[in-house]
């Protein structure tokens, strides 16, 4: 363990973090404005970076070191003394810079509301974009607690952008969201209970050539991922999530992704480590799966 905070994902054994040659840029986004239950997700990105320094960098499943594709971690976005809308704007700007360098933007949250600007930025580059949203919650409210920028409305903003949306792992849905689904928006939902019972059919045909994947860590079962602001029972398990993500990688090109809502808890380093390892597995499947 080092005392100083880790600044590069996978450090200290990560020599492959040159920003000019990297294929992935990690964007730490410690955003926390509209959190409604457990607070602390602003510390999520740093906890992931810290835990990443404890990972082995060889992937036994892929028989390679995914870090070698080049993974640069830019300095964390600084939201201090900024309102929520401005914070979202600079998040989108950061993603745009990464896209201009022809790299994959990988944002680490922070609360889920941060996903909207990256998705909008990526869609500007890839107009056929579809979004896969892996989460316990539908996040389809038109607004929540008085703001349309809320983490609980993030996927509604995706629908507003006219982007086809596929939600997976959902097991917490409000009456408003159920009513919204009756309007037949361009949204498909794979429920948590269907995954648990083995009756889920993933609508792969909805994926276009280019896909953005957003993973809210509360999609994972709280027994494995306790450190989230709004835990829900009955979630995905580690290998189930990996298989799902790998399946997406095999059918479409992922051009942007994020992992959000880690809310580090005292004594729950397993959760930080799971998040870090998930990020690394995602990079591996995206770039190294033959
Ligand atoms: Mn959620």
What is the number of helices (H) and of strands (E) in the chain?
8, 8
Structure tokens at 144: 């929540």
Both tokens assigned to 160:
């507003």
Ligand 1: distance of its center to the CA of 22 in Å? Answer: 30
User: How far is ligand 1, taken at its centre, from the CA of residue 235, in Å?
Assistant: 11
**Phi/psi of residue 182, each to 5°?**
-70, -15
Distance from residue 5's CA to the centre of ligand 1 (Å): 27
The predicted pLDDT at position 75 comes to 97
Q: What is the pLDDT of residue 202?
A: 97
What is the whole-number distance in angstroms between the Cα of residue 12 and the centre of ligand 1? 31
- Residue by residue, pLDDT tens for the chain (290 residues) are 446 788 999 986 667 889 999 999 999 999 999 877 778 999 999 999 999 999 999 999 999 999 999 999 999 999 999 999 999 999 999 999 999 999 999 999 999 999 999 999 999 999 999 999 999 999 999 999 989 989 999 999 999 999 999 999 999 999 999 999 999 999 999 999 999 999 999 999 999 999 999 999 999 999 999 999 999 999 999 999 999 999 999 999 999 999 999 999 999 999 999 999 999 999 999 999 98
Q: How far is CA 120 from CA 89, 92, 101, 153, 234, in A?
A: 11, 8, 17, 15, 31
pLDDT of residue 73: 97
Q: What is the pLDDT of residue 59?
A: 97
Query: 165, 188 in Cβ contact below 8 A?
Result: yes
Q: What protein residues have CB closer than 5 angstroms to ion ligand 1?
A: 135-137, 216, 218
Question: In angstroms, what is the span from residue 161 Cα to ligand 1's centroid?
Answer: 20
Residue 1 pLDDT: 47
* All residues at 6 or more sequence positions from 4 whose CB lies less than 8 Å from its CB, including other chains: none
| Distance in Å, CA 71 to ligand 1 centroid | 27
Q: How far is the CA of 124 from the centre of ligand 1 (A)?
A: 26
Domain boundaries, the chain: 24-288
**Ligand 1 centroid to 121 CA: how many Å?**
22
CATH of range 24-288; options 3.40.800.10, 3.30.230.30, 2.40.110.10, 3.10.105.10: 3.40.800.10
């Amino acid at each position: 363990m080092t005392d100083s905070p880790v600044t590069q994902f996978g450090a200290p054994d990560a020599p492959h973090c040159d920003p000019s040659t990297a294929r992935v840029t990690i964007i730490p986004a410690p955003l926390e404005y509209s959190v409604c239950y457990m607070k602390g997700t602003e510390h999520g990105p740093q906890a992931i970076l810290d835990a990443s320094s404890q990972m082995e960098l060889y992937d036994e499943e892929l028989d390679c070191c995914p870090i070698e594709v080049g993974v640069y971690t830019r300095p964390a976005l600084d939201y201090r003394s900024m309102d929520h809308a401005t914070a979202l704007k600079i998040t989108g700007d950061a993603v745009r810079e990464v896209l201009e360098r022809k790299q994959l933007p990988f944002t680490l949250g922070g609360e889920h509301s941060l996903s909207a600007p990256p998705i909008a930025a990526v869609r500007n580059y890839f107009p056929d974009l579809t979004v896969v949203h892996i989460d316990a919650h539908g996040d389809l409210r038109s607004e929540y607690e008085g703001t349309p920028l809320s983490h609980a409305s993030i996927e509604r903003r995706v629908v507003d952008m006219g982007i086809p949306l596929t939600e997976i792992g959902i097991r917490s849905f409000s009456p408003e969201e159920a009513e919204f689904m009756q309007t037949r928006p361009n949204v498909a939902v794979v429920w948590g209970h269907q995954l648990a019972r083995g009756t889920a059919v993933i609508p792969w045909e909805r994926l276009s050539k280019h896909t953005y994947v957003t993973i809210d860590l509360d999609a994972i079962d709280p027994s494995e991922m306790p450190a989230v602001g709004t835990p829900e029972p009955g979630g995905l398990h580690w290998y189930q999530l990996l298989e799902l993500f790998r399946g997406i990688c095999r059918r479409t090109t992922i051009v942007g992704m994020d992992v959000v809502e880690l809310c580090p808890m005292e004594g729950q380093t397993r959760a930080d480590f799971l998040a870090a390892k998930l990020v690394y597995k995602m990079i591996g499947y995206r770039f190294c799966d033959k």
